[in-house]
Amino acid sequence: MSGRLQDRHCFITGASRGIGKAVAKLFAAEGAHVIALARTQGGLEELDDEIRSAGGTPPTLITEDLTNFDAIDQIGAALFERFGKIDVLVANGGILGSLTPVSHIKPKEWDEVIATNLTASYRLIRSFEPLLRQSDAGRAIFVTSGAADGARPYWATYGISKGALEVMVKTWSQEILKTKIKANLLNPGRTRTPMRAKAFPGEDPATLPTPEDIAKAFLPLALPDCTRHGEVVNAQE
């Protein structure tokens, strides 16, 4: 029996651990060819082993930092050369930064968080829109956060990066209304990830949903029959 993403090319960032890894495994189980990008080669190799062991299509692994923007352009060109299209883009990779008052944010950390969480997604849109247009049903999913509401003291760097991401993706979604692309944002909510543990070190991780639980919310937004567009979808609603 074919999976719901059978033979679709799905590009996932931050795929070596946490939510990104769980999404990659789920999509592979649904028949997708996963193209996994992360900074950690070892984590990608573990993902490869797990997908193959489960009988999935061997993934394509790309070890790269999202802030190497020239590389994003090169990857887009290389994927077009090899596959001619991308069916699903999952922009999941991101960093937290320090939780600190706005006046205490270090410029270097500000630049790093904005580059990783916001500018990288702009570069992905720029590089991958032509690939998504070649699909019969291109789908783009960007991971956001409840911190995007700007109402959380000490979360400025991360919250601003996600708030701006939401504006950008919603704007882009209106620009591609006449295409076959559907673009949405997904807020995972409280999830048992290393980033969550860093932000809330005293929290009992056993009380939180796992990345595998959250990954299920990505699937409907990746399917060809998805009709949602320009929305913020909350995984835990």
SS3 letters for the chain? Answer: CCCCCCCCEEEEECCCCHHHHHHHHHHHHCCCEEEEEECCHHHHHHHHHHHHHCCCCCCEEEECCCCCHHHHHHHHHHHHHHHCCCCEEEECCCCCCCCCCHHHCCHHHHHHHHHHHHHHHHHHHHHHHHHHHCCCCCEEEEECCHHHHCCCCCCHHHHHHHHHHHHHHHHHHHHCCCCCCEEEEEECCCCCCHHHHHHCCCCCHHHCCCHHHHHCCCHHHHCCCCCCCCCEEECCC
With tokens 């993934």, the residue in question is: 59
> What's the whole-number mean pLDDT along residues 52-81?
97
Q: How confident is the model at residue 203 (pLDDT cuts 50, 70, 90)?
A: confident
- How far is residue 88's CA from residue 135's CA, in Å, rounded to a whole number? 9
CB 43 within 8 A of CB 36: no
| Active-site hit among 158, 173, 211, 217 | 158
**Averaged pLDDT of the chain:** 95
125 has a pLDDT exceeding 70? yes
Q: What is the CA radius of gyration of the chain?
A: 17
What per-residue confidence (pLDDT) applies to 191?
Answer: 83
**β-bridge mates for residue 88, sequence order:** 10, 139
> What's the whole-number mean pLDDT along residues 134-152?
96
Q: How confident is the model at residue 210 (pLDDT cuts 50, 70, 90)?
A: very high
What per-residue confidence (pLDDT) applies to 149?
Answer: 94
| Residue among 19, 60, 68, 10 nearest 39 (CA) | 68
Q: How confident is the model at residue 84 (pLDDT cuts 50, 70, 90)?
A: very high
- How far is residue 36's CA from residue 175's CA, in Å, rounded to a whole number? 27
> What's the whole-number mean pLDDT along residues 217-227?
98
CB 70 within 8 A of CB 127: no
What per-residue confidence (pLDDT) applies to 223?
Answer: 98
**Of the listed ranges 1-10, 29-38, 114-123, 169-178, the one predicted with least confidence:** 1-10
Q: How confident is the model at residue 202 (pLDDT cuts 50, 70, 90)?
A: confident
What per-residue confidence (pLDDT) applies to 1?
Answer: 45
- How far is residue 85's CA from residue 8's CA, in Å, rounded to a whole number? 9
Q: How confident is the model at residue 17 (pLDDT cuts 50, 70, 90)?
A: very high
Give me the CATH topology for the region 9-234. Rossmann fold (3.40.50)
What per-residue confidence (pLDDT) applies to 192?
Answer: 83
> What's the whole-number mean pLDDT along residues 23-31?
98
| Residue among 15, 17, 66, 56 nearest 36 (CA) | 15
Q: How confident is the model at residue 196 (pLDDT cuts 50, 70, 90)?
A: confident
pTM over 0.85: yes
- 182 phi and psi, to 5 degrees? -120, 125
What per-residue confidence (pLDDT) applies to 201?
Answer: 82
65 has a pLDDT exceeding 70? yes
Q: Catalytic annotation on 154?
A: no
